Amino acid sequence: MSLLGLISPRSQGIRYLWNTRFHDFYEEYGADTISIVPWLSSKPQIFSADLEVMRQLMSGGVKSPWFRYRSFVLEEWGQNLFTSEKEEWQKHRKILAPAFNSDMYADVWDQAVRTYHDMAEHEGWAYQETVEIPVMQKITSRLAFIMIVVCGFGVEASWSDPTTTSTGDMTFSEALRILVKPSIAVLFPKWMRWLPIKTMREFRKARVMLDQYMRVQVNERRALVKSQIELKEEGSRDIFSVLVRANEVNAQSAHTEKLILSDDELIANVFLMLFAGHETTAETLSATFALLAANQDAQEVLYKQIVEVVGTDRDPTPSEYHQLDKVLNAFYEASRLFPASFAAGRIPVEDSPLVIPDAHGSGRDARIVVPKGILVMGDVLGVAYNPRYYPEPEKFLPSRWEGNGKTDMVTSFGLGPRGCIGRRFATTEAVAFLTMLLRDWKAEPLLKPGESVDEWTKRVIDARFFFTLGIQDVPVRLTRRARA
């Protein structure tokens, strides 16, 4: 499959994965792992909706022979945690991991709460009993963007930020917004960005501006960090600043001097957080609101827990994250039904064994050897709707995530050492924002004239694809809840 074919909204290949998500694709062949052999040309491919096969593909660390399918989109700024492999990946991981800690998650939580208040004030919600939102993604996308700008880049941002400066120049936030929104500009050769097309022109301008800004920032933050280290002062806790600090600390030690990122790698990893974290979080949050609007009983379960834990007259605190487990479970369930990363391609760099559990229902495992260079596709969407793992997979049941060990089956953030490093960032942001909004408002479907809730559900609870899998535009009506 070509990249352009995969992301095309008209692509039958991608829609086929969605349309056959209820596992009939695999049941037709009596197995959860199948080989697809082309009639005329190209290499065969292996598709698997088996969780254990996915663990073998995705859980490997530095010694794993399974390399990620190359992503040109995430290579826009250079090598980073996602695109690197083996020892190079290990270096990136060791430097990035300390940035994701309890202090940073507390900042994420507090920023999500502040952003909710900022949004409500700017949108005029404080004076309304009902609010109609034609496209919920506009709210969740703005939220996710502000969170990454503030907590990732360490740049102040608010709901009402202008897109241009007083002199008419593009602002830093607007340049980031242009780069983070889905755009075909990133898919084409760079010379095409000089074509007289508005989308290409804006993308090129934003790209140049951010490149210059980030290089200046690396030098300024490096100088600041050196001073802070000498004075034994604490530094800023945004991801960008923490990475610069880790680089400087490692450079001063003979034991860690090899654990240093170049300026290009520093910048690439910060932008990885932007690209990987923005659209995925925004779409999953929108799916959560849609599913809760269509399932009022499930929404009431969340509301009752929120009131029990937080009450109605104060903001939730970071320490209450684990007590709001039903809110988190709703987010996990939405990520199962609409996994942003709907497939995980891996290619072995050498002939590699792969164990197929219960091959063809025989009760015995089969061991095959996958030749070097053959694409093995971990079908995340297929696993998410596999009734062996999730009874009644078509239903929105947040309660399925209750109990110890259940979150190990959350495949939407990847598995093992190479799982999404920003998972807790995303879930912290989601739980804080959902808690604030669902405590104040009841979410219901915003219906078209003459439309029923069932018709709304059929229209809205459906997938759309670009770089990731998302949900259709989510129209909701918010009704203010009475406070005790």
Q: Residue 49 CA to chain centroid, in angstroms?
A: 21
Rg of the chain in Å (alpha carbons): 23
- DSSP codes joined into one string, 214-225: HHHHHHHHHHHH
Distance between CA atoms of residues 385 and 280, nearest Å: 19
The 3 state secondary structure assigned to 9-74 is CCCHHHHHHHHCCCCHHHHCCCCCEEEECCCCCCCCEEEECCHHHHHHHHCCCCCCCEEECCCCHH
Strands 376-378 and 45-48: parallel
* Number of C-beta neighbours around residue 400 at 10 A: 19
Helix axes 198-230, 239-251, angle to 10 degrees: 50
Structural contact between residues 379 and 49, judged by C-beta atoms closer than 8 angstroms: yes
Question: What token pair was written down for 15?
Answer: 């829609």
Question: What token pair was written down for 381?
Answer: 């969407």
Distance between CA atoms of residues 70 and 190, nearest Å: 18
**Binding residue ranges for heme:** 420
Distance between CA atoms of residues 438 and 320, nearest Å: 16
Structural contact between residues 375 and 360, judged by C-beta atoms closer than 8 angstroms: no
- Which stretches of 349-400 are assigned E, i.e. beta strand? 352-356, 366-370, 376-378
Residue type, 120: A
Helix axes 86-96, 263-294, angle to 10 degrees: 70
Report which of 79, 82, 74, 77 is spatially closest to residue 3, judged by C-alpha positions. 74
**Binding residue ranges:** 420
* Number of C-beta neighbours around residue 89 at 10 A: 22
Question: What token pair was written down for 51?
Answer: 């969780």
Report which of 479, 480, 466 is spatially closest to residue 141, judged by C-alpha positions. 466
